[in-house]
Structure 1
Amino acid sequence: MSSEKVHVEHCKGVNGLDKVILREIRRCSAEVYLYGGQVTSWKNAHGEELLFVSSKASFRPPRAIRGGIPICFPQLKSTGSLEQYGFARNRIWSIDLDPPPSPSDISHKAFVDLILTHSEEDMKIWPHRYDCRLRVALGPTGDLMLTSRIRNTNTDGKSFTFRFAYQTYFFVTDISEVRVEGLETLDYLDNLKNGERFTEQEDAITFESEVDKVYLSTPTKIAILDHERKRTFELRKDGLPDAEAACVEEPITLKPGEEWKGRQEISAVPSSYCSEQLDPLRLLLRG
Structure 2
Amino acid sequence: MRNSTFGQLPAVTIRAADGAQATVTLYGGHLVSWQTSDGQERLFCSRDSALDGSRAIRGGVPVIFPQFGARGSGMRHGFARVATWQLSASGETDGAAWAQFCLTQSDLPEAIAAAWPYAFTLHLRVAVKACALDLSLSVHNTGEQAFPFSAALHTYFAIDDLGQARIKGLQRVRYSDETPQDALQAEELLQFADKLDRIYYQLPGALALQAGSHTLRMEQQGFTDAVVWNPGAQDAAALPDLAGDEQPRFICIEPALIQPDTLAAGAEWVGRQRIEVSPAGSEPASV
Do these two structures clear the TM 0.5 threshold for a shared fold by scoring above it? yes
SS at match of 1:89: helix
C-alpha change, 1:242 and 1:96, in structure 2 (3 Å) is: same
Aligned AA (1:212): D
Match of 2:262 in 1: 253
1:145 aligns with 2:137: no
Query: In the aligned structure 2, how far is the partner of 1:55 from the partner of 1:28?
Result: 23
Query: In the aligned structure 2, how far is the partner of 1:213 from the partner of 1:49?
Result: 26
Match of 2:4 in 1: 11
Contact 2:174 2:184 in 1 (8 A): yes
Match of 1:268 in 2: 277
Contact 2:11 2:26 in 1 (8 A): yes
Task: Identify which of 33, 42, 51 aligns with 1:41.
Answer: 33
Aligned AA (1:193): T
Match of 1:4 in 2: none
Instruction: Within 5 Å, give how 1:1-287 maps onto structure 2.
Output: 8-15=1-8, 17-78=9-70, 81-96=73-88, 106-118=93-105, 119=108, 120-139=110-129, 141-154=130-143, 157-190=144-177, 192-193=178-179, 196-227=181-212, 230-243=213-226, 244-248=254-258, 250-274=259-283, 287=287
Query: In the aligned structure 2, how far is the partner of 1:11 from the partner of 1:106?
Result: 22
Match of 1:5 in 2: none
SS at match of 1:124: helix
**C-alpha displacement at 1:216, in angstroms?**
0.7
SS at match of 2:76: coil
C-alpha change, 1:137 and 1:123, in structure 2 (3 Å) is: same
Under a length normalisation based on structure 2, what TM-score does the superposition of the two structures give? 0.84
**C-alpha displacement at 1:254, in angstroms?**
0.9
Structure with more relative contact order (C-alpha pairs < 8 Å, separation 6 or more)? 2
Query: In the aligned structure 2, how far is the partner of 1:137 from the partner of 1:23?
Result: 9
Provide, for residues 144-174 of structure 1, a one-character-per-residue CA deviation record: whole Å limited to 9, x for no partner: 11111111112xx320010000110000001
Query: In the aligned structure 1, how far is the partner of 2:71 from the partner of 2:168?
Result: 32
SS at match of 1:96: strand
Contact 2:100 2:126 in 1 (8 A): yes
Query: In the aligned structure 2, how far is the partner of 1:172 from the partner of 1:13?
Result: 21
Q: CA RMSD in A?
A: 2.1
Identity level (%): 32
> Is 88-97 or 160-169 further displaced after alignment?
88-97
- In structure 1, stretches of 5+ residues that fail to align are 1-7, 278-282
**C-alpha displacement at 1:272, in angstroms?**
1.9
Aligned AA (1:128): Y
Which structure features the higher share of strand residues?
A: 2
Query: In the aligned structure 2, how far is the partner of 1:80 from the partner of 1:131?
Result: 20
Query: In the aligned structure 1, how far is the partner of 2:75 from the partner of 2:21?
Result: 32
**C-alpha displacement at 1:106, in angstroms?**
4.0
- In structure 2, stretches of 5+ residues that fail to align are 227-253
Paired residue total: 257
SS at match of 1:273: coil
**C-alpha displacement at 1:263, in angstroms?**
0.5
